[in-house]
């Protein structure tokens, strides 16, 4: 291996881990896969996530949707996406009128300071959304063990 090929391979190794990052385009594609052509409207959804987190490995997140949760009008699913983790998906939860309230809490990982998007899919085929910006000081997911 000569100097040039060595440098090239070394560069490839250093750059490779950072190539595995979702982009705002990936986020838009992932959202379109869920909503299709239906319009996405702001409102009804409350995304509760701290604006500044020290450790991106566990970020508490609560999504609540203003919905009567009756048979004719309920939230069918809650989807959560992120902008800069290696993959845009976080989770999707299936709900039914039997849940009584459209509230889901969990803990997520964030690889960088970024936007988190929550989308609620209602039984009427509407999509409501809310987003939040989160600043992360210690990143998760892509951080190596050393």
Partner 1 sequence: MANVLVNAPKTAKKGEVVEIKALVMHVMETGFRAGTNGRIIPRNIIEDFTATWNDREIFRMKMSPAIAANPFVSFTAVAGESGTIAFRWTGDNGFVAEHKVSITVT
Binding mask 12-51 for partner 1 (x = CB under 8 A): -----x--x-------------------------------
| Residue 89 touching partner 1 (CB under 8 A) | yes
If phi > 0 it is left, if psi is from -120 to 50 it is alpha, else beta; for residue 123 that is: alpha
Q: How many CB atoms lie within 10 A of CB 9?
A: 11
132 binds partner 1 (CB under 8 A): no
Binding residue (CB under 8 A) for partner 1 from 106, 125, 133, 137: 106
Distances (CA, A) of 43 to 30, 86, 111, 131, 141: 20, 27, 27, 10, 30
What is the contact surface with partner 1 in residues (CB under 8 A)?
A: 17, 20, 57-59, 82, 85-87, 89-101, 103-110, 140-146
């Amino acid at each position: 291996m000569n100097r040039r090929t060595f440098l090239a391979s070394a560069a490839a190794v250093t750059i490779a881990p950072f190539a595995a990052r979702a982009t705002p385009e990936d986020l838009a594609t992932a959202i379109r896969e869920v909503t299709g052509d239906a319009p996405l409207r702001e409102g009804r959804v409350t995304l509760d996530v701290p604006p500044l987190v020290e450790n991106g490995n566990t970020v508490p997140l609560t999504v609540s949707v203003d919905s009567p949760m009756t048979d004719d009008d309920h939230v069918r699913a809650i989807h959560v996406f992120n902008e800069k983790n290696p993959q845009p998906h976080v989770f999707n939860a299936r709900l039914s009128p039997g849940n009584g309230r459209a509230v889901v809490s969990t803990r997520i990982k964030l690889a960088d300071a970024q936007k988190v998007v929550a989308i609620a899919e209602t039984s009427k085929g509407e999509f409501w959304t809310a987003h939040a910006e989160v600043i992360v000081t210690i990143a998760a997911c892509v951080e190596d063990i050393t």
